[in-house]
Amino acid sequence: MAVDFRCVDRSVPTDAWAEPTRPETGTASGASDVSEKAYEVAHLDELDRYPVDDEGLLWRPVRRRLGITAFGTNAYTAENGTERVVEEHSEEGGHEELYYVVSGRARFVLGDDEIDAPAGTFVHAEPGTKRGAVATEPNTTVLAIGAKPGVPHEVSKWEDIFVVFGLYRTGKEAEARRQLEKVLAENPDSWQGYYNAACFEALTGNDDAAVAQLKRAIELDLKALEYAADDSDFDRLRERPDFPS
Amino acid sequence: MSGSAHISELAFKFPNNQSWAMVRTHFDIQSFGVNAYIAGEAGVEVIGEHDELGENAGKHEELYFVSSGHAAFTVDGDEIDAPAGTFVFVPDPSTKRKAIAKEAGTTIVIVGGKPGEAFTPSPWERTSEGLAHFANKDYEKAAETYESFLAETPGNAGFLYNLACAESLLGRKEDALQHLRQSVEADAVFKRNALEDPDFDAIRDDPEFSAITGQTDATRAST
């Protein structure tokens, strides 16, 4: 089942999340897996592994695990060595990003350039520059650090959504639903929350709920209607008379 | 700018058997600090013991990532074994931290930023501009660089110290002693550095050098 990347949309400007209430992972003191110690330690091998797509790309949350609040930090692993290790996107929301190839090798696209990036390579992408990478060796891991210049860092909402769909893709549907409900409770005014809920309901066969959540998203922002028109998650529902169009 | 570089292209050697890669300044990254340090041999203190409260520190929360080799961290008095792939995150700027390489080539990537505030570069980063001149043995340029920094931030202990190093290496004994004295008066921690720093070999035998770094000096207690 092809999950369109829209469902965990990072091309949606992060500032489109209206007045975000900070998730509990947003502060070091509030995160459940962060202790009162003066430091946090984790090895790359111990980080969670959430599938981001059906091709093998794994999201390994670093910021979330350690309670970092001043910048975004995530690792991505491509085990097979042929799949995408950084999804292609432009960070229209204004984040600049620095990628560091920790192991393996990847071919980056940066604007109009292609870059062969063995382990030890840094790739910097300014906001708005198209970037993405495909692994060219097995067990390629890329560390991504990102933040928006000139403003205090705000924890990216897509992390919460990545967890929802990551759990779903690893067969933990009940846990995924609990996480989704938490995201919705924390972001009651955000169209992205309801939009992703609509995707989740469509993927799990709850068609009525999918349409209802999509309608709520559209009521909050018409952008949701545009996204839904191209989102393959909803292909099965398009023939329904009540499907928004 | 958007672009790419391998860590080996960015690293420049330091006298203390260590290389630095000033990643943030290379790419002109504006939203977080990032650098890498590479140990030339086992035993090198890749991260010198420090906290993030000093006049040149960014007061950042900091993420250390051991990208290759093997390091031994000491954070808040605890020892942490850190093989390649280990993340060590230190949120509180007042926490003391250091790391020693257990293997040659041990590389630590450091990322820093201040929670709740827009990023501004740490003052110490500027000092690296001068350090590059030291690495190239261009001590005239190094001295000029620190003089210009001091014109902007007078009395900065670190800049004064590095200026004194350059002047000592250039044989400008009086200038070196004067600036070293000012540095030590601003921050007594530099006494210990000066005692072990080969850059001061040319002025080490001067009685004034002993006076500045004197072990019996009561101000030593302040470190």
Query: Do B32 and B69 share a domain, yes or no?
Result: yes
Asked whether the predicted pLDDT for residue B217 surpasses 60, the reply is no
Asked whether the predicted pLDDT for residue A16 surpasses 50, the reply is no
Query: How close A95 comes to chain B (CA, Å)?
Result: 8
> Please, what is the average pLDDT of chain B?
88
CATH topology of domain A21-147: Jelly Rolls (2.60.120)
Q: Cα(A239)–Cα(A234) distance, rounded to whole angstroms?
A: 10
Q: How many domains, chain B?
A: 2
pLDDT at B130: 80
Which letter does DSSP use for residue B47 in this model? E
DSSP characters over chain A: ----GGGG-SSS-GGGS-SPPPPGGGSTTT-TT--SSS-EEEEGGGS--EE-SSSSEEEEESHHHHT--SSEEEEEEESSSSSEEEEEE--TTS-EEEEEEEESEEEEEETTEEEEEETTEEEEE-TT--EEEEESSTTEEEEEEEE-TTS-----THHHHHHHHHHHHTT-HHHHHHHHHHHHHH-TT-HHHHHHHHHHHHHTT-HHHHHHHHHHHHHH-THHHHHHHH-GGGGGGTTSTTS--
Query: Do B102 and B154 share a domain, yes or no?
Result: no
Predicted confidence band of residue B154 (pLDDT cuts 50, 70, 90): confident
Is any Cβ of chain A less than 8 angstroms from the Cβ of B72? no
Q: At what angle do helices B123-135 and B157-169 cross, to 10 degrees?
A: 10
pTM above 0.80, yes or no: no
Q: What is the mean pLDDT of residues A51-72?
A: 92
CB contact (8 A) between residue B90 and residue A67: no
Q: Check which CATH number belongs to the domain holding B170 and give it.
A: 1.25.40.10
| Contacts with A, B 86-115, CB within 8 Å | 86-92, 95, 97, 109, 111-115
* Torsion sign (Cα): A187, A59, B32, A117: negative
- Quote ipTM for the complex: 0.80
Query: How close B178 comes to chain A (CA, Å)?
Result: 39
Identify the domain boundary among B89, B113, B137. Answer: B113
Nearest chain A residue to B26 by CA: give it.
Answer: A124
Asked whether the predicted pLDDT for residue A15 surpasses 60, the reply is no
What is the domain extent for residue B109?
Answer: 7-113
Which letter does DSSP use for residue B97 in this model? E
Q: Which residue has better confidence, B82 or A16? A: B82
Predicted confidence band of residue B215 (pLDDT cuts 50, 70, 90): low
Q: What is the mean pLDDT of residues A183-190?
A: 91
Asked if residue B104 lies in contact with residue B42, where contact means CB atoms within 8 angstroms, the answer is: yes
CB contact (8 A) between residue A42 and residue B76: no
CB contact (8 A) between residue B88 and residue A43: no
Give chain A positions within 8 Å (CB) of B119: 70-71, 147, 149-150, 153
Asked whether the predicted pLDDT for residue B219 surpasses 70, the reply is no
Boundaries of every domain in chain A: 21-147, 158-164+171-233
Identify the domain boundary among B78, B113, B148. Answer: B113
Q: Cα(B200)–Cα(B221) distance, rounded to whole angstroms?
A: 23
Q: What is the mean pLDDT of residues B87-111?
A: 96
Paired tokens of B163: 């200026």
Query: How close B83 comes to chain A (CA, Å)?
Result: 8
Query: How close A174 comes to chain B (CA, Å)?
Result: 31
Q: Cα(A163)–Cα(A178) distance, rounded to whole angstroms?
A: 11
- Confirm whether B220 is domain-assigned: no
Asked if residue B4 lies in contact with residue A121, where contact means CB atoms within 8 angstroms, the answer is: yes
Query: How close A161 comes to chain B (CA, Å)?
Result: 23
Q: In what order do the strands lie in the sheet with A105-110?
A: A84-89, A131-135, A105-110, A113-118
Q: Cα(A83)–Cα(A140) distance, rounded to whole angstroms?
A: 10
Interface test with A, best of B32, B61, B62 (most A CBs within 10 A): B32
Residues 6+ apart with CB under 8 A from B84: B66, B67, B68, B69, B70
Give chain B positions within 8 Å (CB) of A118: 6
pLDDT more than 70, % of chain B:
93
A–B interface: beta-carbon pairs under 8 A:
149
As a dihedral over the C-alpha atoms of residue B206, residue B208, residue B211, residue B215, rounded to 10 degrees, the angle is -30
- Confirm whether B181 is domain-assigned: yes
pLDDT at B212: 92
Give tens-digit pLDDT for B48-61: 888 888 776 778 99
> Which of A74-78, A175-179, B9-13 has the least mean pLDDT?
B9-13
pLDDT at A158: 84
Paired tokens of A32: 């459940």
CB contact (8 A) between residue B4 and residue A118: no
Amino acid, single-letter form, for residue A235: D
Interface test with A, best of B8, B19, B31 (most A CBs within 10 A): B31
- Confirm whether B223 is domain-assigned: no
Nearest chain A residue to B116 by CA: give it.
Answer: A152
CATH topology of domain A158-164+171-233: 1.25.40
Asked whether the predicted pLDDT for residue B220 surpasses 80, the reply is no
- Confirm whether B222 is domain-assigned: no
User: What are the distances in angstroms from CA A11 to CA A8, A89, A188?
Assistant: 9, 7, 20
